[in-house]
């Protein structure tokens, strides 16, 4: 019997995969502990959202472009349906290969509904500019305190200089301390650990964005090192980093980076399934959050009509654990026409 030990490269791939998996697991646990499990999660989220002063101040759009909003919602829901596909295939499906592309579907599932929110607010010009879209939602979070926990947390400053700075940090919790990212997240009865992980995730995402900008600066200026002044200017010019940036970073790595962490045989199927389940859950709740805001802006009837028409085409039942659950929890089913 031969036992093959993992190579150094395989161990590094496993490490990177594990850290991301744990970020997602930790967020899923926090959401379930904060708002509930199953359908109760979305009802709990609804209760938390409607109590927020920022929600209550949202005014109905006077003349929203419903066709444009519909287009973006359907793009998001279609991406989420594609993200759900591996769960329909049962045990033994090559889920690692699906996971190689799942961050792309996850990002666009959220991005489509985010664009619908922008459209409902008559904010144009962001469809093909992801940097501008992320900056816009970051500004909404920073200036309006728009979303509840954990979506309101933002990372700022320059992590390369050791900055561990956040906005909207929960007063009773610390986002800056040390946490072992390779340890399995404790059940979300330990919110202190969640905030440590979430802070680390946002800071590492911010660092990756800044490193790319610094490398671009060095190429453009013919320098091997960046000056402290330029580093400060670049960090100050980057909008605060949100969870939406984390989804963007995962999508970029899947699109343009290496997919080796997902296709190496060294990572067991059980861990791939954990990754996929946590990712789909985080996307489901984030999509539901944004849908509530879109419905608030364009009106419940308009939103329910768009969602109901899309859901009626789901002959395979792919949406049964996502959009359909959210429509029931938010009481956004379209009204039945009365018999003539």
Within a domain: 290: yes
**What one-character DSSP code corresponds to residue 241?**
B
Mean pLDDT of the region 92-118: 89
Which tokens belong to 106? Answer: 């996850």
Residue with tokens 């995730």: 201
For 140, the domain range is: 8-329
Of the candidate ranges 36-40, 85-89, 235-239, 278-282, the one whose mean pLDDT is the lowest: 85-89
Which tokens belong to 59? Answer: 């005014």
pLDDT of residue 192: 87
Mean pLDDT of the region 180-206: 89
Closest residue by Cα to residue 318 from 280, 264, 269? 280
Which tokens belong to 136? Answer: 């816009």
CA 253, CA 258: separation in Å to the nearest integer? Answer: 7
Residue 89 pLDDT greater than 90, yes or no: no
315 or 309: which carries more pLDDT confidence?
309
Residue 319 pLDDT greater than 50, yes or no: yes
Closest residue by Cα to residue 50 from 242, 244, 293, 299? 293
Within a domain: 340: no
Alpha helix (H) residue ranges in the chain: 8-35, 39-50, 53-56, 66-84, 95-99, 102-120, 130-144, 191-221, 228-237, 243-256, 260-263, 269-298, 300-311, 323-329
40-64 tens-digit pLDDT = 999 999 999 999 999 999 999 999 9
338 confidence band (pLDDT: 50, 70, 90):
very low
**What one-character DSSP code corresponds to residue 6?**
P
Mean pLDDT of the region 237-245: 97
Mean pLDDT of the region 288-305: 96
pLDDT of residue 339: 30
Within a domain: 336: no
**What one-character DSSP code corresponds to residue 184?**
P
Counting the structural domains of the chain, the total is: 1
Could you tell me if 103 and 142 are in contact, meaning their C-beta atoms sit under 8 angstroms apart? no
Within a domain: 1: no
Looking at mean pLDDT, say which of 83-92, 295-304, 318-327 comes out highest. Answer: 295-304
Of the candidate ranges 5-14, 18-27, 204-213, the one whose mean pLDDT is the lowest: 5-14
pLDDT of residue 340: 23
Secondary structure (H, E, C), 86-133: HHHCCCCCCHHHHHCCHHHHHHHHHHHHHHHHHHHCCCCCCCCCHHHH
Could you tell me if 75 and 108 are in contact, meaning their C-beta atoms sit under 8 angstroms apart? yes
Could you tell me if 126 and 118 are in contact, meaning their C-beta atoms sit under 8 angstroms apart? yes
Across the chain, mean pLDDT equals: 89
Within a domain: 278: yes
Could you tell me if 148 and 52 are in contact, meaning their C-beta atoms sit under 8 angstroms apart? yes
Within a domain: 140: yes
Mean pLDDT of the region 110-131: 90
Percent of the chain with pLDDT over 70: 90
Within a domain: 2: no
93 confidence band (pLDDT: 50, 70, 90):
low
pLDDT of residue 55: 92
CA 76, CA 72: separation in Å to the nearest integer? Answer: 6
Residue 88 pLDDT greater than 80, yes or no: no
pLDDT of residue 258: 63
**H or E element: which one contains 154?**
strand 154-156
**What one-character DSSP code corresponds to residue 25?**
H
316 confidence band (pLDDT: 50, 70, 90):
confident
pLDDT of residue 156: 97
Closest residue by Cα to residue 240 from 163, 131, 167, 132? 167
121-152 tens-digit pLDDT = 999 777 778 999 999 999 999 999 899 999 99
Within a domain: 190: yes
Q: Which residues contact 54 (CB under 8 A, 6 or more apart)?
A: 144, 145, 146
Residue 189 pLDDT greater than 70, yes or no: no
pLDDT of residue 158: 95
Which tokens belong to 310? Answer: 């899309």
Residue 337 pLDDT greater than 50, yes or no: no
CA 152, CA 286: separation in Å to the nearest integer? Answer: 12
Residue with tokens 């997902």: 262
Could you tell me if 83 and 109 are in contact, meaning their C-beta atoms sit under 8 angstroms apart? yes
pLDDT of residue 151: 97
Closest residue by Cα to residue 112 from 80, 148, 147? 80
Residue 123: Cβ-neighbour burial (10 angstroms; 0-12, 13-18, 19+): middle
Percent of the chain with pLDDT over 90: 70
Mean pLDDT of the region 223-237: 93
């Amino acid at each position: 019997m031969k036992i093959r030990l993992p190579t150094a490269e395989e161990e590094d791939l496993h490490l990177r995969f594990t850290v991301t998996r744990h970020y997602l697991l930790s967020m899923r646990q926090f959401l379930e502990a904060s708002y509930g499990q199953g359908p109760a999660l979305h009802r709990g989220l609804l209760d938390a959202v409607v109590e927020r002063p920022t929600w209550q101040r949202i005014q109905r759009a006077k003349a929203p472009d419903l066709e444009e909003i519909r287009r973006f919602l359907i793009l998001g829901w279609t991406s989420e349906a594609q993200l759900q596909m591996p769960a329909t295939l049962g045990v033994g499906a090559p889920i690692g290969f699906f996971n190689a592309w799942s961050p792309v579907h996850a990002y666009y599932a959220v991005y489509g509904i985010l664009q619908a929110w922008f459209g409902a607010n008559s904010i144009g010009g962001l469809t093909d500019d992801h940097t501008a879209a992320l900056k816009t939602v970051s500004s909404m979070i920073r200036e309006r305190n728009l979303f509840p926990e954990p979506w309101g947390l933002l990372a700022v400053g320059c992590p390369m200089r050791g900055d561990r700075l956040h906005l909207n940090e929960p007063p009773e919790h610390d986002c800056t301390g040390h946490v072992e990212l390779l340890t399995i997240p404790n059940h979300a009865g330990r919110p202190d650990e969640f905030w440590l992980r979430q802070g680390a995730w946002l800071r590492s995402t911010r660092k990756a964005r800044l490193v790319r900008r610094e490398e671009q600066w060095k190429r453009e200026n013919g320098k091997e090192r960046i000056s402290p002044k330029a580093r400060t200017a670049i960090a100050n010019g980057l909008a605060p980093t949100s969870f939406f940036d984390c989804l963007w970073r995962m999508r970029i790595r899947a699109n343009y980076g290496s997919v080796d962490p997902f296709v190496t045989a060294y990572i067991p199927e059980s861990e791939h399934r954990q990754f996929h389940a946590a990712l789909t859950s985080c996307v489901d709740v984030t999509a539901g959050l944004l849908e509530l805001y879109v419905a608030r802006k364009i009106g419940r009837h308009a939103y329910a009509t768009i969602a109901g028409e899309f859901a009626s085409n789901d002959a395979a039942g792919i949406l049964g654990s996502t959009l359909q659950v959210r429509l029931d929890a938010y009481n956004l089913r379209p009204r039945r026409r009365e018999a003539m």
